Amino acid sequence: MSDLNIAVLGAGVVGLTTALELQKLYRNAHIDVIASCFESDTTSNVAAGLFRPGTSFCGPNEEITRRWISDAYRYWDYLRNTSEGALAGVTQVSGYIFSSKYPNIVRNHYIEKLVPVYRPATEKELKLCPGDWLYGSFFTTVLTSCEYYLPWAANKFLERGGKIQKHHVEDFASISLGYDILVNCTGLGAKHLCDDNKLVPIRGQVIKVQAPWIKTFFYGDYDTYIIPGINSVTLGGCRQYDSYEQSVNKYDSLNIKERCEALVPNLKSAKPIKELVGLRPHRDPVRVEKEVRHCNGKKIKIVHNYGHGGYGVTTAPGTAIYACELVRETLAGNSKL
Ligand SMILES: Cc1cc2nc3c(=O)[nH]c(=O)nc-3n(C[C@H](O)[C@H](O)[C@H](O)COP(=O)(O)OP(=O)(O)OC[C@H]3O[C@@H](n4cnc5c(N)ncnc54)[C@H](O)[C@@H]3O)c2cc1C
């Protein structure tokens, strides 16, 4: 038996993936996941879940950022190929990104050499969708539907002996008693917990529709995307910086519908299922760092893992593996803090 007690704060894609990685590293530790919201109440559940980091996504430096992205791709692609891949909601999908503006919009230096296919669209493919598309790429990647992944990951964590508690954490001191280390995966919640002014919501809104004939994803200009998932197709989107509005905005809905139907006209006959809003936890750079806080004469060891913006499903496994290294360093007592 181990005397090691770890609390992971947060049960979105980042928290649960980090908790599973910690269980691999510390097989006998007592690990708790503590969160105020689960599954359909998280931002993770709003995401279409396509593996495609934005070209501006960044960790502390280029080398670490690339490591996060390649570790993450390996994790998702490995899971997809196991007997549990379908249960975990991980699939492979291909599609197009088009732009009428600039050639670099359709390039992605992070994944061009990572995914199995990433190539320029042919002249014929540039005419697949209405519009004056001048530039395009076709690529194959993975997609993780959090509607499946979050329950799958929570069950896996419980099966391996983890415990899950529903609780809103007011501050680190109030939760730290009895734990050797806290792993902070609270997404936008970290803004208050850490008083972090660099963490900003980027509001997104999507429409989930039934359109089973859509098997390919499409991205167009102005944040327009059509992404087929397991049970529905996600139509998006928007990026509203520093907006905390969590209700559906009817003007955003009309605008998304219009842009998506202009890109793929047969979506006009798609049946709407629901509309969702999520606040992407954006931070530049994403914070995966260790910290020791001193509170009432006591040391609180913390590893932060938050601020993934619009790319948390894509990169969660990569930052989780890195956060585990920081936990190991901190607990081994060789932390430079
Ligand atoms: C419209 C939209 C589309 C997106 N599409 C994609 C996509 O295709 N691909 C992609 O990679 N990403 C996408 N994203 C981004 C992705 O959803 C986020 O990056 C990701 O969900 C962040 O995960 P998280 O676990 O950090 O946060 P969350 O899912 O928000 O989880 C945070 C957890 O912390 C808990 N918490 C917070 N504060 C506290 C507290 N004080 N006490 C206790 N618990 C607390 C919450 O209850 C929750 O359990 C999209 C986002 C949006 C909004």
Residue range(s) defining the domain that contains residue 141: 5-331
Helices 13-25 and 312-331 sit at what angle, rounded to 10 degrees? 40
Looking at residue 334, its pLDDT comes to: 44
Distance (Å) from CA 329 to ligand 1 centroid: 26
Q: Which residues are annotated as a binding site?
A: 43-44, 48-50, 169, 186, 225, 280, 309-314
Distance (Å) from CA 14 to ligand 1 centroid: 7
| Contact of 138 with 101, CB cutoff 8 Å | no
- Locate the ligand 1 atom nearest the alpha carbon of residue 186 and give its number: 34
Q: Which residues are annotated as a binding site for FAD?
A: 43-44, 48-50, 169, 186, 309-314
- Total count of domains within the chain: 1
Residue 21 lies in a domain: yes
| Contact of 162 with 31, CB cutoff 8 Å | yes
| Contact of 291 with 320, CB cutoff 8 Å | no
Residue 315 lies in a domain: yes
Q: Give the whole-angstrom CA distance, residue 206 versus residue 47.
A: 9
Residue with CA closest to ligand 1 atom 51: 47
Q: Which residues of the chain have pLDDT under 70?
A: 1, 334-337
Residue 212 lies in a domain: yes
- 3-class DSSP state for residue 162? coil
Residue with CA closest to ligand 1 atom 25: 12
Distance (Å) from CA 134 to ligand 1 centroid: 34
The distance of Cα 236 from the centroid of its chain, to the nearest Å, equals 16
Looking at residue 205, its pLDDT comes to: 98
| Contact of 50 with 217, CB cutoff 8 Å | yes
Query: What amino acid is encoded at 173 in this protein?
Result: A
Q: Which of 1, 12, 23, 9 is nearest to 324 (CA)?
A: 23
Which residues surround ligand 1 with Cβ inside 6 Å? Answer: 9-15, 35-37, 42-44, 46-50, 168-169, 185-189, 193, 204, 206, 236-237, 278, 280-281, 306, 308-314
| Contact of 219 with 96, CB cutoff 8 Å | yes
Residue 337 lies in a domain: no
Residue 336 lies in a domain: no
Distance (Å) from CA 271 to ligand 1 centroid: 26
Residue 173 lies in a domain: yes
- Locate the ligand 1 atom nearest the alpha carbon of residue 169 and give its number: 42
**Domain at 115, CATH number:** 3.40.50.720
- Locate the ligand 1 atom nearest the alpha carbon of residue 311 and give its number: 11
Distance (Å) from CA 129 to ligand 1 centroid: 32
